[in-house]
Structure 1
Amino acid sequence: MSDRGGRHSRSPVSSMRTFWGLMSAYWLSQSWRQAWGLTFAILVLTALSAKANVWFALTSGELVNAIAYFHDPTTPTTLTSLLTTATTLAAIAILRDAGFIAVRHFFSTTLHRKWREWLDQRFNEALLDSNHTHFHLQQIGANAAGSVISALDNIDQRLQEAIKGMTGAALGLAMGISGVVLSLGFVGSKLIETSVDVRGFEFLGRYGSACLTFTAIAIYVPLNTFIATKLGSVLQRLSARMQWAEASYRTELNRLLHRSFHLAVLRGERAQKTVNEHRYVDIDKTWASLNRVTAIYMGFELIHNFIGSRIIAYAPGLFPFVENKLSLRSYVTGAKLANALISDCSWFIHVMPDIATLGANARRITDLADAIETVQRPQEFYAQTGPSEFHYEKQEPALGLTLQQIRLLHAGVDLPFLSADNLHFPPGEWTLVVGQSGSGKTSLFRAIHGLWAHGSGEITTPRRVRSIYAAQDVKLPAVPLKDLVCLPESASRHQDKNVVAALQKAGLGEFAEDLSKDGHDGQSWDQLLSGGQKQKLVLARILLLRPGLVFLDEATSALDTKAAYAFLQTIKDRCGDATVIAVMHDVSPIQSANGVEFFDSVLTIEGGVAKKITIAAWHKPTASQS
């Protein structure tokens, strides 16, 4: 026996359930050439930028020296040489900033875009697979007994804002680390090369000034990085709290939009306003705390920059300069090199707020990946909160649809609310499903399609037979009209004339010229079409695809009696061999214009038991009462 949705293949995001798995997945994927190619270009440009810092420091020293001794007769400097040095310095600055850093920014933003696109594709593949992962994912934490997995908030925010923020911060962090390493190599080696001895540190020899510079940086930068880390951890907690508060408020606004009509009818705006205000309190309080910590961090960062560039960079070389062991040019050059090294090594301090959000965003993405992987085996997932023992098989089309030993349960409840021992629906038979509201009619349809969580039973469907489920509430994706009619098949498989013919037969001929349009005046078809028109659109789909198995779950509820009967008659005329199982809003005698019953049998649900009888047997009690 097999179970629908019980596949054992891993999801496209199974490797992204940990931080490092998420970070490395793109570079280890089939797109590795693209990822590593852009990464290599960024590293080369980062190295050239670090090398340019050395050139800039050397030329800056020469320029300051030329200006300082311009009028000194012992070391004459011509205006031409001064301007040449200044021009060279400007050229180096332009080459570094516009040639290396700007081009590196282009490559890094391209890598950011490609990485985000790749992640978005992987998560879309995982959510929109044949396993209906997007549906099962929303059942987490939604059952009465409570799920062992925390419910996910705002999947849309995780797929958009969290991925965008995480990828940008991660790339920035990687670029910063590579910049520090390369700067230590290029700038550090030049500091050693230009080093001189320092009085009191004769044991260091000619490396005295370089050792003092490295020591000052090694003390100053880590100390401030430690402070930045502590402030960053506070920012990370507040960022995570802010994301939660924003998500909670967004969820409430989404619910408001979905129940807007009912709220207006009940005049419940005042109550809803109170709820919204209460939700926003968390946002406001967290935002206030976040602003305070951000302001403190900004002040700390500005002080760090000033002390680093004006004191730490110049202090180590001051002693040998005073003792005339360093020329002004060498002193300025050393200070510029030290400042460049401090700036590169302080990169973590400058981006700590972004790094703080990196952890929060990565956690939201890995949690989503973990939840997706969890529901890859739906029955194992649902079994955590109740029995889930449905088995799905295929049989020859001539045998139709068979349901055996069906038991449907709610989470946390041991007794089934719907039972059916043996139900058979042969090809071409029309069955009407009747029962009180809440008796389980729609639940039975969901179980047949593998979308009911708890219970047991064997569902055997006809092999190679197309099935269509028509629900009462029709939701249309924002795609062209032709795509809507052809769903779930590709629009390219059907000729326009056949789609137009289906629309005309369904009573939507006025839209025959709009096949390629996805709506009008900025509105999608879901917004433009009325409830009755949407149900006629489903009829057009049935007429076009000619399914062998049709489930109508109050699919004519938005139509008047005449239109509803026309709906059924059209299916009867155009899809005569189809097996139709229908839940009808109106269960009064349903007959064609010639007085012929549409349905051959009735599936009654009474007292939690589903039984199938002939249409004649169903009519008998009514006749005796009359």
Structure 2
Amino acid sequence: MRRFWGLMRAYWFSDRWKEAWGLTLAIGLLTAMSSKASVWIAEASGELVNSIAFFHDPANLTPLASLLTGAGTLLLLVLLKDAGFIGIRHLFSTTLHRKWRGWLNGRFNEALLDNNHTHFHLQHGARAETDAFPTLDNIDQRVQESIKGLTGGAIGLAMGILGVVMSLFFVGQKLLETSTMVNGLEFLGHYGSAVLAFAAVTAYVPINTYIAMKLGGLLERLTVKIQQAEGSYRGELTTFLRRSFHVAASRSESVHKEVHNRLYRDIDETWARLNNIHAGYLSFELFYNFVAARIVAYTPALIPYIHGKIGLKGYVTGAELVGSLITQCSWFIHVMPEISALKANARRVADLAEAIENVQRPKEFYRLSGHCEFCYRTQHSVFGLTVQNLELMHQGSDVMPFLVASNLHFRRGEWIFVRGEAGCGKTCLLKAINGLWPYGRGNIVLPESVKSFYATQDVKLPQVSLKQLVCLPCGRDTYSDAHVAAALHKAGLGELIEHLNHEAREGGIWDRILSGGQKQKLVLARILLHQPGLLFLDEATGALDPEAKIAFHQAIKDNCPNVIMISVMHEISPPKSATGVEFYDSVLTIANAVATKRPVAAYLSVKPATLIAQSEPAGRKPRQLPNISLKRSWGGM
């Protein structure tokens, strides 16, 4: 589905091909009937005009009956076409739109949320300006709005093309049947008037279609641009609303107002240009319709009518047929703005599909913009976790590593406390071990058949039940209510057990009503429920007060005896239990771009001032310690 036609045909050759082709055939049949009805309406219009013209003719013995019959027949045919064929076709086409969009949305949903973490690589794979695969903007808009516009526009386009083909067949057939000889074109025989009609359509429609296509190209480019601008503005607004507390606390509304105004100015300027093109196109289309309906449609049959070759009925019928033919062949002109929107949506969806396919092999993908030579293997769980010759880098082919770890070994049941200055690479190290850091090289040997769990400081909760939140990443039926309730109780959230199967509490979803500390306790409940053998805590206790941090660690110590825990924290010294016993066995220090590991006793034997000096970048003077306790105080949120 990397290209337009791949997107167009994928659904019809999927496992739901019967549904797709069944709806398509129904739409095609109804379109053909609608085109045939146009011929019947043209004939009925001729009969009605003829009955009006000869209403007072002495030869017309039943003028009123003829008039009423003609009007009634025309009304019934219009009703049959519009309310019958077209109305029912609309129902089938909207059903096809809904089914196709749902299938395509499901495919992208599965692709983005696969085990390869495709959604992560698409958003965090930094790209150079010269890369063949640029970073995608507004993925949410592409999946939601662009797919909807693509599927709806494609169905409308297909129905329009089919309508044109059917009209050419039925209307053309009728024009040939009713054709007559034209003075000056006797060599054409009885096909003279039909040839004139086809010549008029051929001369008028293509030229104007070309003009419409040029205008449509401008509309397409502006549509893509306004979609990008709208998506950026919506994305910024969504992010702002999610962090509204932080904006209010920092009183930074003026800054966000400036950002919003700048983003909306881009929308407004693009919208203005788009409106100008739309206005010009509308004027062109109205003028085109007038000339087509009032001049071009009535010109071909005028010559044979003047020379008495056909009567008024034949003249009106022929004009109606030519008008119907022009209308159908001009369908591209009438829907060119929609076609431009379709092409714009197709481009954005195809770009997304291509990007998803490009990141299916992350190593090859990241090698396009930097070094990516990580090797992941497994070993027996008794040997724990091993990291060898690890070098972490940023994007680029000639960059130096910002973190080096030559040989690190973490034995089963060992707790490791990671410390270092902000920005030294603590989180990057955890990401690299988990396969979430793109650039660098090294060997990571993981314990086999062991569950891994990665907890971060910032906890985002999807809108599901409390039980589902605790069971993540497993399904809610994986664990019993009793097991989940026990985990919540051990994590210090026993008061929430009665709301286990609720998606909200007191009208608010869990992500909004739980404090930062409660969210981190919820993560603790997950850990206690899943019993991982490899646990990464990336400042996962930052929102807890000192007592709650001790309880957090104690709960893991009591319930996960063989877990390898690697924890990043802000504290200078690792926390201890309530009885003064060390939780952590080792300290991993990152200083001057090098990671070194030593026993916690050796680390604590170093004087506090020396510890801080070791964490300072080279060339910077050590910070002076104030005359206060080294233990940092943390307030709950």
- Per the normalisation by structure 2, the TM-score is 0.91
Pair 1:609–1:584, CA change in 2 (3 A): same
Pair 1:532–1:271, CA change in 2 (3 A): closer
State the shift of 1:374 in Å.
1.5
Q: In the alignment, is the contact (CA less than 8 A) between 1:141 and 1:147 conserved in 2? A: no
> What is the DSSP-based 3-state SS (H/G/I as helix, E as strand, rest coil) of the residue aligned with 1:162?
helix
- What is aligned with 1:353? 337
Pair 1:380–1:557, CA change in 2 (3 A): same
- What is aligned with 1:411? 395
- What is aligned with 1:30? 15
Q: Tell me, in whole angstroms, the C-alpha distance in 2 between the residues paired with 1:137 and 1:531.
A: 28
Pair 1:81–1:520, CA change in 2 (3 A): farther
- What is aligned with 2:623? none
Alignment of 1:538-553 (within 5 A): 538-553=523-538
State the shift of 1:264 in Å.
4.1
Q: Is residue 294 from structure 1 mapped to residue 294 from structure 2 by the alignment?
A: no
Structure 1 counterpart of 2:266, which letter?
Answer: D
- What is aligned with 1:491? 476
Structure 2 counterpart of 1:246, which letter?
Answer: E
- What is aligned with 2:300? 316
- What is aligned with 2:365? 381
> What is the DSSP-based 3-state SS (H/G/I as helix, E as strand, rest coil) of the residue aligned with 1:492?
coil
State the shift of 1:609 in Å.
1.9
Q: Tell me, in whole angstroms, the C-alpha distance in 1 between the residues paired with 2:286 and 2:508.
A: 50
- What is aligned with 2:265? 281
Structure 2 counterpart of 1:154, which letter?
Answer: N
Structure 1 counterpart of 2:351, which letter?
Answer: D
Pair 1:219–1:146, CA change in 2 (3 A): closer
Q: Is residue 306 from structure 1 mapped to residue 290 from structure 2 by the alignment?
A: yes
Structure 2 counterpart of 1:381, which letter?
Answer: F
Q: Tell me, in whole angstroms, the C-alpha distance in 2 between the residues paired with 1:424 and 1:521.
A: 48
Q: Is residue 583 from structure 1 mapped to residue 568 from structure 2 by the alignment?
A: yes
Structure with bigger RCO (C-alpha 8 Å, 6+ apart): 1
Pair 1:203–1:122, CA change in 2 (3 A): same
> What is the DSSP-based 3-state SS (H/G/I as helix, E as strand, rest coil) of the residue aligned with 1:421?
strand
State the shift of 1:607 in Å.
2.2
Q: Which moved more, 1:259-268 or 1:154-163?
A: 259-268
Q: For residues 126-174 of structure 1, what are the alpha-carbon distances to aligned partners after superposition, in whole Å with 9 as ceiling and x for unaligned?
A: 111111111111124467x985532211111111111111222222111
Q: For residues 321-350 of structure 1, what are the alpha-carbon distances to aligned partners after superposition, in whole Å with 9 as ceiling and x for unaligned?
A: 233321222222212211111111110011
| Count of equivalent residues | 610
Q: For residues 55-81 of structure 1, what are the alpha-carbon distances to aligned partners after superposition, in whole Å with 9 as ceiling and x for unaligned?
A: 111122112212222221113234334
Structure 1 counterpart of 2:108, which letter?
Answer: F
Q: Is residue 126 from structure 1 mapped to residue 126 from structure 2 by the alignment?
A: no
Q: For residues 282-326 of structure 1, what are the alpha-carbon distances to aligned partners after superposition, in whole Å with 9 as ceiling and x for unaligned?
A: 322222221122112112212222221222222221222233321
Q: Which moved more, 1:561-570 or 1:238-247?
A: 238-247
- What is aligned with 2:485? 500
Q: For residues 239-281 of structure 1, what are the alpha-carbon distances to aligned partners after superposition, in whole Å with 9 as ceiling and x for unaligned?
A: 2232233234334434544664554455443344334333333
- What is aligned with 2:177? 193
Structure 2 gaps of 5+ residues are 611-629, 631-637
- What is aligned with 1:74? 59
Pair 1:267–1:505, CA change in 2 (3 A): closer
State the shift of 1:28 in Å.
2.2
Alignment of 1:595-606 (within 5 A): 595-606=580-591
Q: Tell me, in whole angstroms, the C-alpha distance in 2 between the residues paired with 1:502 and 1:433.
A: 27
Q: For residues 514-561 of structure 1, what are the alpha-carbon distances to aligned partners after superposition, in whole Å with 9 as ceiling and x for unaligned?
A: 222222465321111110000000011111111111111111110000
Alignment of 1:417-566 (within 5 A): 417-520=402-505, 523-566=508-551
Q: Tell me, in whole angstroms, the C-alpha distance in 2 between the residues paired with 1:552 and 1:537.
A: 14
Q: For residues 457-494 of structure 1, what are the alpha-carbon distances to aligned partners after superposition, in whole Å with 9 as ceiling and x for unaligned?
A: 11111111111111111111222211110111111111
Q: Which moved more, 1:92-101 or 1:324-333?
A: 324-333
Q: For residues 345-377 of structure 1, what are the alpha-carbon distances to aligned partners after superposition, in whole Å with 9 as ceiling and x for unaligned?
A: 110011001111222211111111121122111
Structure 1 gaps of 5+ residues are 1-15
Aligned Cα root-mean-square deviation (Å): 2.1
Q: In the alignment, is the contact (CA less than 8 A) between 2:418 and 2:587 conserved in 1? A: yes
Q: Tell me, in whole angstroms, the C-alpha distance in 1 between the residues paired with 2:192 and 2:35.
A: 24
Q: Tell me, in whole angstroms, the C-alpha distance in 2 between the residues paired with 1:576 and 1:469.
A: 17
Q: Which moved more, 1:83-92 or 1:266-275?
A: 266-275
Q: Which moved more, 1:525-534 or 1:356-365?
A: 356-365
Q: Which moved more, 1:46-55 or 1:155-164?
A: 155-164
Pair 1:278–1:583, CA change in 2 (3 A): closer
Alignment of 1:362-401 (within 5 A): 362-401=346-385
Pair 1:419–1:141, CA change in 2 (3 A): closer
State the shift of 1:180 in Å.
0.7
State the shift of 1:103 in Å.
0.9
> What is the DSSP-based 3-state SS (H/G/I as helix, E as strand, rest coil) of the residue aligned with 1:621?
coil
Q: Tell me, in whole angstroms, the C-alpha distance in 1 between the residues paired with 2:262 and 2:44.
A: 61
> What is the DSSP-based 3-state SS (H/G/I as helix, E as strand, rest coil) of the residue aligned with 2:300?
helix
- What is aligned with 2:616? none
Q: Pick from 170, 177, 182: which aligns with 2:166?
A: 182
- What is aligned with 1:204? 188
Pair 1:425–1:69, CA change in 2 (3 A): same
> What is the DSSP-based 3-state SS (H/G/I as helix, E as strand, rest coil) of the residue aligned with 1:237?
helix
Structure 2 counterpart of 1:216, which letter?
Answer: A
Q: Tell me, in whole angstroms, the C-alpha distance in 2 between the residues paired with 1:270 and 1:437.
A: 28
> What is the DSSP-based 3-state SS (H/G/I as helix, E as strand, rest coil) of the residue aligned with 2:124?
coil
Q: In the alignment, is the contact (CA less than 8 A) between 1:141 and 1:149 conserved in 2? A: no
Q: Tell me, in whole angstroms, the C-alpha distance in 1 between the residues paired with 2:114 and 2:454.
A: 18
